[in-house]
Structure 1
């Protein structure tokens, strides 16, 4: 029976003229007869035929056509009952997907045929059959025989199948495929099509498809494949999804990892480093013990190179990358919509906290104005509130210099009234003071003088945590607004404080110079001519012009001759002129002293001249930073000739709060306590206490050292098997055993009476 008879039989079966069972028997018979008629064993060995076709497609075209006809017949059988797994169809589909690039004329419609089968029977297919079709399409996509958009559209339709392994497999392939597309250079046109498709899937009614598309976009953003503003603003739309899981995933993406998670990540990195070192040691030990071969030596070299490369990558400085929060197009509208949803939200308290965190970060980073958010946060500021420290962080993050003091003053007053009071524990008081400090670091205008002076009274509190929190608040306002503090708490005036002018709310003072750049006007030992200012060079040019004029002037030579006559040969005057002409070189300490002698106006003028006349290097900025640090501790005196007092120590970094975009949770929970010693420290203290002391133990020794040992001493040297019966007798007895022993003893006593 030939191929024509097979096709006619297939048509009869489709038209209903023959039963399905008879049709299957006839197809199997035809296949077996064709295999027996051919003496070649290739039709029954598809992997071997696949290998031969890839080497020489033209020579094995007849065998390929025979397998293609078998595939068409098996597809007809499969259409009759798609729920059953067909192993023969699975093998033929895999074979055709491997050799599809060798016969493009015959298999041009093969990817579309598989796609149609998956679309038509996606939910009823056997899971192994569906996975085999999916893998075949992936193979065709890797050979560029199928467009990525068509494949991804099909895969997102397959996400509706109740197959968890399939969904995970499809998601991984989509991410990998898009990453490979943009590996060498980004394909803007294709990315735009795929992003538009993902945006449509985010608004899909099917929750699994929407969640998968969101996960794909987030993973591509973290892999820096789609890290543009369009991707971020597409993800933003998922914040308002009705599915809680999708909304929570979006909030976690924008909030990012907390510091605790970052610590865990660093711990995992250290663990991985240790594992890499252990693997290298194990490989080297195996090399020493086992037989030395060239292959093993290459393995060791490869392991060493991998460890060296990983350590080098960790040392390299990462480039700054804008976070997703900076790429949002309309943060004001987004914050308002999220706030309105937060007011009506009926989700878990953890979801509400995430939403509050996201809103507070939007307000702080983009300096938005959302006055209704602060009364909402104010309702949660109580010591008994769950996760109250996180709410404190949200209140501090939502504060910035453009928020009116009237909006933040109630929050500040609530923190002071509900936390900084003697009726609560010292830990609560310390956290309240820390929260006030972080809020005022971002907006010091909301603090009043009376409240600040009341809070600074805790600087002498008996608890160290409260005392340090109050002192950190004092250190903050010494820098922000010392006029609000008591005069005794303001500290000695410094040079930096004298230069700074206190700003009012809404005032933005712009300067035309870099504070501290005046140090560059004084050349130090480490400078190679770069420290000279244009002002000094201009003076030198003026001196040269004067010398030229002196040549034309007739009176001057006479005076010069007179001076030479008085001074002899004039050598001393020449030496003085040379010293004046040379530029004086200062040490770093002397240059700093020269800067401190200048007034604020002179410093500003010199700094402005430096900023306008030259480019600054990294070394210059390092000197500027050192100068500003010295000004912070240098006492200010109106008379520069007056002898200055001794410098006081610079405050610690922990005492001065620097306002950043985000508030770490540890800044609120930072409580100073006497830390407990670890075991090693305790053992060291115990060992140090025993020095110079007699050996502890039983002081009473043997009167006769040659005497025999006691029975108790002999027991210590015996084996356990010799003492087991004695130890068993000392075990706790049950109540029933005690009853039996008491009865036997009473009977024995009665017997002998």
Structure 2
């Protein structure tokens, strides 16, 4: 009896693959047979590459799986697959093309193919009309480049790939160019290609591409900062309330479900705590790395003026141009008249246009250039013919523009806008007061005297800067607060050297170790300030009495001389304090406690009795849309408060609902009142009569009526 041959290795490729990986030498003959079979199938496939060959798919994946076991034999295998894809990429069957690509990726993962060759091939395959393949290739390219730069950045490889990708951005195929832009942007966001070279290629090639999708993708890249802010806001909203969960678990009934929920909340709280401890990753917008921002802004503005794209694309142009102008402090005077055309309340997305106008304002732009924008906003928005919301938005936009360019506001216009501080609508009133508060800090001379408010020490020390003037500090602002501490230490150290008989001596430290002593010093400072104010008031009263008692020229001259002497004495005192503070900053290293005291002293200067909290003027790089759309309104009541008002309105009422005018509620009703409670079937004939008659029916009814009248006569 002859046994059947159970050796199925030539046909069972998965089994042969498993055996080869375990013992390559024992099965080298079987592999050579399969490899020769692959070569023969490849020659047949090259005659008609558009047809699918299932056996070729299987043997290609088999060779790719075991190629590392026979590197000498499979040396030409990757090149054969690459040549097939290069020559027949567009005509290959999608399944066959995907199979060849997966085989090459498998070989790349085993380091059998050079990275540069395989990535260049994949970039060329982005031209194929296969969306699934392009998405798959994009994911692999990003992952592969990320893995290559995981331990250290391979600058030579990155430079070669970047040069090839830059040429792909100019490719005639829009899909390949769009995919190349997406890959570059994703690599930048993953901090792999976050160098200025990548940013400037996107700025010079992508932002001026004739392909709309590439253009929009590149513009969105420079506007990516807003998306990061939104992610931060959502993270802050989704914070875990561990304390509330523990309290609820303590009070509520103990169940398995609630126990599991509490354990999950604890895990989330631990993760959130670890995330807070991690160092923040600063992935700022690429707009800071542009080499030629002036040229980019001018090019985008020229492109904007000649484009026929939809309105959303124009808004992206305006946004990028305004950010370039504001961040790099550029001069593009033609931008402001252009954006003035869109400043109408009925304009679509007008709040964003106002945001762009504020972003494009900075201190180096002459006030005459931005003043027409302010006048246009005042004429089109801040008028009583508009609604209160439109007026408030106009005032908020004016404040944001003036915050960045205070010299653009004229005195007459500012005083007119300040009169809205008593407007009947709260939203307009608050917006006008915020504008007044801004100019109290920046240029109080432009305000009316009654709107300037009480001057603080910080306002008195601040100098009004002219156009183009920069404020340069030669010392740490507020270092005068540390002078008294240093003097106290010097005096007490001298006393210790003269009379130190071995007893304990209390020494006041400047680094804030003695908390109570620091508080006593602050109280003494306040007492001294109050005493100085009282002395000044007494001097003023005495001078007033002298003027009332003696109106002679000698009394006036003596009063002027005494006031002048006091002013000179005060100026000399301030000058000496500044010189001493400057010397202290040069001869001493400030600690964290010193800076805390300096910040507290600076904060104290901004507070007066009329203003309980300091003013905070945020001059961020980007203007937030909420700062323009911020409208103060009475908040809607929740359900409980609405029910309370409803119940309060029902008090002292006899009946609910509609009241008829009957004196005696037990008397009969009229037929009209009874009709409201009847069934519709009883009133159907009445409803028919109410149907509007046609013109013919009206003619017949009129004829009938006229005949009836004639017969009656």
Specify if TM > 0.5: yes
Which runs of structure 2 are paired with 1:697-716 in the superposition (5 Å)? Answer: none
Matched, 1:615 2:589: yes
The CA distance in 2 between the partners of 1:303 and 1:472, in whole Å, is 42
Cα deviation for residue 734 of structure 1 reads 14
**Aligned counterpart, 1:244:** 212
42, 53, 60: which is aligned to 2:20?
A: 53
Aligned residue in 2 for 1:659:
619
In 1, are the aligned partners of 2:606 and 2:614 still within 8 Å (CA)? no
Is residue 631 of structure 1 aligned with residue 605 of structure 2? yes
Distance 2:301 2:440 in 1: 36
1:104 partnered with 2:78: no
Say if 2:20 and 2:66, in contact at 8 Å, map to a contact too. yes
SS of corresponding position for 1:160: coil
- CA pair 578-605 structure 1, distance change in 2 beyond 3 A: farther
- Residue 429 of structure 1 pairs with residue 429 of structure 2: no
Shift in alpha-carbon separation, 1:491–1:138, aligned structure 2, 3 A: same
Aligned to 2:467: 505
Aligned residues: 603
CA distance in 2, matches of 1:680, 1:509: 55
Change (3 A) 1:661 1:262: closer
Separation in structure 1 between the aligned mates of residue 19 and residue 379 of structure 2, nearest angstrom: 85
Q: Name the CA distance, whole Å, in 2 between partners of 1:619 and 1:731.
A: 85
Answer whether contact 1:396 1:439 (CA < 8 A) is retained. yes
Match of 2:164 in 1: 197
1:407 to 369, 374, 390: 369
Write out aligned runs for 1:55-454 (5 A): 55-237=22-204, 238-256=206-224, 258=226, 262-263=229-230, 266-267=233-234, 308-309=270-271, 311-314=273-276, 316-454=278-416
Name 1:670's counterpart in structure 2: 630
Q: Counterpart of 1:40?
A: 7
CA displacement, residues 318-365 of structure 1 (integer Å, 9 cap, x when unaligned): 144442111001101111111111111111111111101100000000
Q: State the SS of the aligned residue for 1:346.
A: coil
Task: Provide closer, same or farther for how the CA distance between residues 272 and 164 of structure 1 changes in structure 2, counting only shifts above 3 A.
Answer: farther
Cα drift, residue 628 of structure 1: 1.6
* CA distance in structure 1 between the partners assigned to 2:182 and 2:270 by the alignment: 33
Aligned to 1:604: 578
1:503 to partner: Cα distance: 1.2
- For 2:681 and 2:14, locate their aligned partners in 1 and report how far apart those are by CA, in whole Å: 73
Please tell me whether the aligned partners of residues 489 and 508 of structure 2 are also in contact (alpha carbons under 8 angstroms).
Answer: no
Q: 1:484 to 1:732 in 2, by over 3 A?
A: farther
Does the CA-based 8 Å contact 2:185-2:221 persist in structure 1? yes
Q: Are the equivalent residues in 2 in contact too, given 1:499–1:600 (CA < 8 A)?
A: no
Cα 1:318–1:660 shift into 2, 3 Å: same
Q: Deviations over 1:674-715 (max 9, x none)?
A: 111122443465678899x999999xxxxxxxxxxxxxxxxx
Residues 202 and 214 in structure 1, CA contact (< 8 A), matched pair in contact too: yes
CA contact (8 A) 1:519 1:592 kept: no
Deviation (angstroms), 1:103:
0.5
1:441 touches 1:476 (CA, 8 Å); kept in 2? yes
Q: C-alpha deviations, 1:29-87, integer Å up to 9, x for none?
A: xxxxxxx9975222222222212212221111111111111111211221222222211
- CA 1:109/1:396 → structure 2, altered by over 3 Å: closer, same or farther? same
Distance 2:681 2:185 in 1: 64
Other-structure match for 1:6: none
Question: Cα gap change, 1:247/1:129 in structure 2, threshold over 3 Å: closer, same or farther?
Answer: same
Q: Does 1:459 align with 2:426?
A: no
For structure 1, list consecutive stretches of 5 or more residues without a partner in the other structure: 1-35, 279-286, 290-296, 523-531, 548-572, 635-646, 699-728, 740-753
Please state how far the C-alpha of 1:135 moved relative to its aligned partner.
Answer: 0.3
* Whole-angstrom CA distance in 2 between matches of 1:79 and 1:504: 78
Structure 2 gap segments, 5+ residues each: 246-254, 530-569, 658-677, 689-713
Cα distance, 1:264–1:583 mapped onto 2, change above 3 Å: closer
1:536, distance to aligned residue in structure 2 (A): 5.5
Q: CA deviation at 1:91?
A: 1.0
SS at match of 2:10: helix
Write the distance in 2 (CA, Å) between the matches of 1:489 and 1:38: 106
Q: Which residue of 2 aligns with 1:587?
A: 518
Report the secondary structure of 1:258's partner residue: helix
Whole-angstrom CA distance in 1 between matches of 2:129 and 2:270: 45
User: What RMSD, in angstroms, separates the aligned Cα atoms of the two structures?
Assistant: 3.7
CA deviation profile, 1:110-147 (whole Å, cap 9, x unmatched)? 10010111112111111111111100000111111111
- Counterpart of 1:489 in structure 2 is 451
- Inter-CA distance 688–44: structure 2 relative to 1 (3 Å threshold): farther
Q: How does 1:506-585 map to 2 (within 5 A)?
A: 506-522=468-484, 532-533=485-486
- How far has the Cα of 1:658 moved from its partner? 2.2
CA distance in 2, matches of 1:64, 1:485: 91
539 and 264 in structure 1: CA distance in 2 versus 1, 3 angstrom threshold: closer
Distance 2:238 2:508 in 1: 60
Q: Please give the alpha-carbon distance, in whole angstroms, between the structure 2 residues aligned to 1:688 and 1:518.
A: 60
Seen in structure 2, the aligned counterparts of structure 1 residues 270 and 77 have a Cα distance that, compared at 3 Å, is: farther
User: Are residues 60 and 649 of structure 1, via their aligned partners in 2, closer, same or farther at CA, if it must alter by over 3 Å?
Assistant: same
Go from structure 1 to structure 2 and tell me whether the alpha carbon gap of 1:593 and 1:540 turns closer, same or farther (over 3 Å shift).
closer
- How far the C-alpha of 1:731 sits from its partner, in A, is 9.7
Decide which moves more: 41-50 or 185-194. Answer: 41-50
Does the residue aligned with 2:590 lie in a helix, a strand or coil?
coil
**TM-score normalised by the chain length of structure 1:** 0.73
What is the alpha-carbon distance in structure 2 between the residues aligned to residue 385 and residue 677 of structure 1? 32
**More deviation, 610-619/97-106:** 610-619
Give the one of 419, 429, 432 matched to 1:470: 432
Describe the SS at the equivalent of 1:354: helix
Once residues 324 and 77 of structure 1 are traced to their aligned partners in structure 2, the CA distance between those partners, rounded to angstroms, is 51
Residue 367 (structure 1) shift: 0.5
Any conservation in 2 of the 1:633–1:649 contact (CA below 8 Å)?
Answer: yes
How far off is 1:301 after superposition? 9.7
* CA–CA distance in structure 2, aligned partners of residues 306 and 125 of structure 1: 50
